[in-house]
Amino acid sequence: MEMQEKFKMKINKLYLKNIRSYKEAEIEMPSSSVLLCGDIGSGKTTILLAIEFALFGLQKGILSGASLLRHGSSTGIARLDFEVGGKHVVIERTLKRTAKGIVQDKGSITIQGKHESLSAEELKQRVLELLAYPAEFLKKTNMLYRYTVYTPQEEMRAILQESPEERIDTLRKIFGVDKYKRIKENSAILSRVLRESIKNKQSLVTDIEEKKATLAQKESSKADIAKKISIATTKLASVKTSLESCKIELKKSEEQAEKLRVLSSEIERKRAELSATKEHKEELQQNRLELVEIIEKAKKTIKTIKPDLLKKEFEQKLEQKKFELENLRKALLIIDKKLGGLEQELEEKKELIKKISTFEKCPLCRQAVTKVHRKELLAEIKTELKEKSNMLEQERSKRDRTEKAIELAKKALEKLQVEQLEAEKMELQLQNIKEKESELKRIDAMILRYIEKEDDIAKELEKLVLHYKDNEKITEKIKKLKEEFELLMQEERKLAVAKAQLDGEAKLLEETICTLRKELATKEAIKKDIMQLSELREWLDNAFLATIEAIEKTVLSKLHHDFSELFRKWFGMLVTDMDSRIDENFTPIIESQGYELDYSYLSGGERTAAALAYRLALNHVINSLMTKLKTNDLLILDEPTDGFSSAQIEKLRDVLSELAVKQLILVSHETEVEDFVEHVIHFRKEQGTTKIS
């Protein structure tokens, strides 16, 4: 913590491995002033180069790998242990020999014990941050360190021997005022670019007024078309409405027509029904007439008959006659039997007579028959015979009478049967008439129904026909409506086409207007740009450049003044008999007895003194200009006394004490210098390798 207060930055120690004359070494750096002392080539400068390498890495043109890596070694290490801004930092960088040459390998940084492996570039960035160096040095050669902390032995003389132009350029860089020159150059470039750009832009806006006029014209056309479209839209809408109502009307009428069509077929149907009914009726009437006639005829034929009585009478009479006939037949049979018996008796009597006449003995009594007896007998038999013959005769006439009676009865029965048949026929006919009469009644009823029906149909038909009367009108109306519809459709189509055309025109116009507006907006913007750019250019060419020049002049003159004063002071301390100053080109002007001496005419010691004074003045001016730099407290001087007389070396002590740097690293082989410092490190080289004591 104490460190933080005393030092912005302090180098603690340096570890080297395979760097130039070092195989491996570690050097502790005291916190105050130290002298690195040793013979030529003993390894002093190597320490300073290694510190620079550890901090910033290899730098193109001023610090190469080849100048650092020890011959014969494939890798080298430089590790710097230091304090900065109160932090303990250790940086380690490595070198590596490759086929392409010696390059930086990965390094590391440890800040307050926090270790990080980083690339060479990342390391440099970290260091610049830690040292509060401008970030622009990341890509550039780190001249700031070179002229404020450590200037290699030959570097300072080189700057003094450069042409004034180059020197002032270098100084501008170191002072950080080269930016003014760059600003001026860049603003000149910018001014040119601006002029070019303005010219280009101007060519883009020459037609702006013309475009405006076109736009106005297009806009008025657009308004016209919009009006036309509005009219067309209204018309179209009204046509559409008419079309719609026409459609509705047409539909209604067609529906009506359809109803009438249905009515017409209904009428047809009714008419057919009516004529069918009439036909039926007439047919029935005809039938009726026929039937009446038939009935009349039938009635005439059976007028006398009392049908009910007739039937019983006939039955009784028939029964009677049949019975009578039966009785007669039975009587006849009895008569026939009697006849048969009488005939047989007669035969037998005749036979008996014959026999008696011839017989000697009575057949009956078996006695001899006498003539009287015979005669008696014969007479008796003959009387019997006569009796019997009378009886037969009587019977025979009785039979004849019976037969005749039978014949009569038969005939009467036959007659009766015929009459009965006739009566039955009559009855049937009567039945028939009755049926016909009921049929007639039925027909009459039907005729009546048909007449009613006919009447009904006729009434209905009359109604239907009355309704149908409108038909003609509707057909006419539909025709008219259809014509009207067609006309409206045509009108609509025409209007739609016209509107579509107008819409197309409007769209085209709109697009054109849109494009024009965009173009105009762009052109207006360009115009604005031109104004701004012109203002900028005006400002750049006049105010800005003048200001920059003024700033530069002020800064430079301040720097120049301080620088000159310091240079005069340091040089005056080292070389007492000469006067000195710095001219406007930062060239040291040395005067001796009123004569200006060129630097190259100075003695070696004077030249060293001038270089040292220049170097110290530079250090001081920069540090006072950039107070934030952490390296302000560190000064490294390599052989500042080359060519000095012992008196001059003695003066160096005053210069150094006046500088009052907190950590001073001096390199010198002048033993007197040992007294100026608090610590001395001795270097010697044995067989190409540095040893430290």
Ligand X SMILES: Nc1ncnc2c1ncn2[C@@H]1O[C@H](COP(=O)(O)OP(=O)(O)OP(=O)(O)O)[C@@H](O)[C@H]1O
Stretch that binds ligand X, among 40-48, 140-148, 203-211, 580-588 (CB under 6 A): 40-48
CA nearest 612: which of 576, 656, 664, 582?
Answer: 656
DSSP state of 588: E
How many alpha carbons fall within 13 Å on the CB side of residue 137?
Answer: 24
Q: Which does 187 bind (CB under 5 to 8 A by kind): Mg ion, ligand X, none?
A: none
Instruction: Tell whether residue 40 is a contact of ligand X (CB under 6 A).
Output: yes
Shortest approach of Mg ion to residue 675 CB, angstroms? 21
Instruction: Tell whether residue 38 is a contact of ligand X (CB under 6 A).
Output: yes
Shortest approach of ligand X to residue 669 CB, angstroms? 6
Amino acid at 268: E
CB of 542 closer than 8 Å to CB of 187: no
Instruction: Tell whether residue 281 is a contact of ligand X (CB under 6 A).
Output: no
Shortest approach of Mg ion to residue 687 CB, angstroms? 19
CB of 133 closer than 8 Å to CB of 139: no
Query: Is 45 or 285 the residue whose CB approaches Mg ion more closely?
Result: 45
Query: Is 46 or 580 the residue whose CB approaches ligand X more closely?
Result: 46
Query: Is 69 or 205 the residue whose CB approaches Mg ion more closely?
Result: 69
Name the CA radius of gyration of the chain, rounded. 87
Query: How many CB atoms within 10 Å of residue 476?
Result: 11
Shortest approach of ligand X to residue 70 CB, angstroms? 4
Stretch that binds ligand X, among 39-47, 83-91, 118-126, 165-173 (CB under 6 A): 39-47
Query: Is 37 or 526 the residue whose CB approaches Mg ion more closely?
Result: 37
Instruction: Tell whether residue 45 is a contact of ligand X (CB under 6 A).
Output: yes
Q: What is the DSSP string of 572-630?
A: HHH-TT-EEEE-TT--EEEEETTEEE-GGGS-HHHHHHHHHHHHHHHHHHHHHH-TT-G
Q: Which does 71 bind (CB under 5 to 8 A by kind): ligand X, Mg ion, none?
A: ligand X
Residues 36/37/43/45 CA torsion (nearest 10 deg): 50
Q: Which does 18 bind (CB under 5 to 8 A by kind): ligand X, Mg ion, none?
A: none
Q: Which does 70 bind (CB under 5 to 8 A by kind): ligand X, Mg ion, none?
A: ligand X
Query: Is 488 or 611 the residue whose CB approaches ligand X more closely?
Result: 611
Pairing of strands 588-592, 22-28: unpaired
CA distances from 380 to 113, 349, 386, 506 (A): 213, 11, 10, 177
Shortest approach of ligand X to residue 688 CB, angstroms? 6
Query: How many CB atoms within 10 Å of residue 607?
Result: 20
Residue keyed to tokens 């009613």: 452
> Could you tell me the two tokens for 510?
């709109």
Gap between the Cα atoms of 90 and 108, Å rounded: 8
Query: Is 45 or 110 the residue whose CB approaches Mg ion more closely?
Result: 45
**Adjacency order of strands within the sheet including 22-28:** 22-28, 9-19, 75-84, 87-98, 101-111, 114-118
Query: Is 57 or 588 the residue whose CB approaches ligand X more closely?
Result: 57
CB of 119 closer than 8 Å to CB of 91: no
Query: Is 76 or 107 the residue whose CB approaches ligand X more closely?
Result: 76
Instruction: Tell whether residue 608 is a contact of ligand X (CB under 6 A).
Output: no
| Contact residues for 327 (Cβ-Cβ < 8 A; gap 6+) | none
Query: Is 22 or 570 the residue whose CB approaches ligand X more closely?
Result: 22
Gap between the Cα atoms of 479 and 393, Å rounded: 124
Gap between the Cα atoms of 645 and 159, Å rounded: 23
| Contact residues for 58 (Cβ-Cβ < 8 A; gap 6+) | 64, 65, 68, 95, 103, 104, 120
Query: Is 146 or 281 the residue whose CB approaches ligand X more closely?
Result: 146
Instruction: Tell whether residue 693 is a contact of ligand X (CB under 6 A).
Output: no
> Could you tell me the two tokens for 47?
């320490």
CA nearest 174: which of 204, 141, 200?
Answer: 141
Query: Is 21 or 94 the residue whose CB approaches Mg ion more closely?
Result: 21
Positions touching Mg ion (CB under 5 A) are: 45
- Report helix, strand or coil for 456: helix
Interface of this chain with ligand X, residues 641 to 670, rule: CB under 6 A: 669
Instruction: Tell whether residue 70 is a contact of ligand X (CB under 6 A).
Output: yes
Q: Which does 42 bind (CB under 5 to 8 A by kind): ligand X, Mg ion, none?
A: ligand X
CB of 246 closer than 8 Å to CB of 489: no
Query: Is 588 or 605 the residue whose CB approaches ligand X more closely?
Result: 605
CB of 629 closer than 8 Å to CB of 658: no
Among 46, 253, 402, 619, binds ligand X (CB under 6 A): 46
Among 14, 33, 43, 89, binds ligand X (CB under 6 A): 43
Interface of this chain with ligand X, residues 526 to 545, rule: CB under 6 A: none
Shortest approach of ligand X to residue 37 CB, angstroms? 9
| Contact residues for 301 (Cβ-Cβ < 8 A; gap 6+) | 426, 429
Gap between the Cα atoms of 470 and 259, Å rounded: 11
Query: How many CB atoms within 10 Å of residue 69?
Result: 22
Positive or negative, the CA dihedral 648, 48, 160, 559 is negative
Query: Is 11 or 295 the residue whose CB approaches ligand X more closely?
Result: 11
DSSP state of 368: B
| Contact residues for 480 (Cβ-Cβ < 8 A; gap 6+) | none
Q: Which does 173 bind (CB under 5 to 8 A by kind): ligand X, Mg ion, none?
A: none
Among 10, 44, 79, 218, binds ligand X (CB under 6 A): 44
Shortest approach of Mg ion to residue 46 CB, angstroms? 8
Q: Which does 660 bind (CB under 5 to 8 A by kind): ligand X, Mg ion, none?
A: none
Among 60, 61, 71, 360, binds ligand X (CB under 6 A): 71
By rule CB under 6 A, what string of x and - marks binding of each residue 13-32 to ligand X? -------xx-----------
Among 30, 41, 85, 643, binds ligand X (CB under 6 A): 41
Stretch that binds ligand X, among 41-49, 106-114, 410-418, 531-539 (CB under 6 A): 41-49
Q: Which does 85 bind (CB under 5 to 8 A by kind): Mg ion, ligand X, none?
A: none
Q: Which does 580 bind (CB under 5 to 8 A by kind): ligand X, Mg ion, none?
A: none
> Could you tell me the two tokens for 401?
């009478």
Shortest approach of ligand X to residue 588 CB, angstroms? 24
Query: Is 45 or 592 the residue whose CB approaches ligand X more closely?
Result: 45
Q: Which does 469 bind (CB under 5 to 8 A by kind): ligand X, Mg ion, none?
A: none
Site residues, ligand X (CB under 6 A): 20-21, 38, 40-46, 70-71, 669
